[in-house]
Amino acid sequence: MITRTAIFEGRVTPGKEEDFFGAVESRLAPMWADFPGACNVRWFRVNDADADAAPIAMIQQVDYPSRAALAAAIASPQRDRARALTLELMQMFEGRFYHLISGQDELVNT
């Protein structure tokens, strides 16, 4: 299983929180679920953190069965549409987003 995690570091523009997170839930999350090969989609609005933590507003994760499935999803038109909407929503966000890949394709017996 491979997990691609998006970290939204920063904060939603004050006064735009409901617009931003409402659009994530109603418009963007369904697009993520439509990525080819997506097994599980999760997103979390960060409500609290340690005092010295980086300012993370949201974390999004999508699981894929393999690196090949992840590559197909990234190359898909569904991802292109989701990225366009993400960039639109980033106009209500003061910060950046980036991705982390974790997991492995399969266990190897030795």
Q: Is the pLDDT of residue 108 over 80?
A: no
Helices (H), the chain: 17-23, 29-33, 67-74, 77-89
Q: Tell me the whole-structure pTM to 2 decimals.
A: 0.89
Which residue type does 36 have?
Answer: P
State residue 17's pLDDT score: 97
Mean of pLDDT values over 17-36 = 97
Report in angstroms the alpha-carbon separations of 32 from 16, 52, 55, 91, 109: 22, 31, 23, 19, 33
pLDDT in tens, 63-106: 999 999 999 999 999 999 999 999 999 999 999 999 999 997 65
pLDDT in tens, 32-53: 999 999 999 999 999 999 999 9
d(CA 101, CA 110): 25
Domains of the chain (ranges; CATH) run: 2-101 (3.30.70.100)
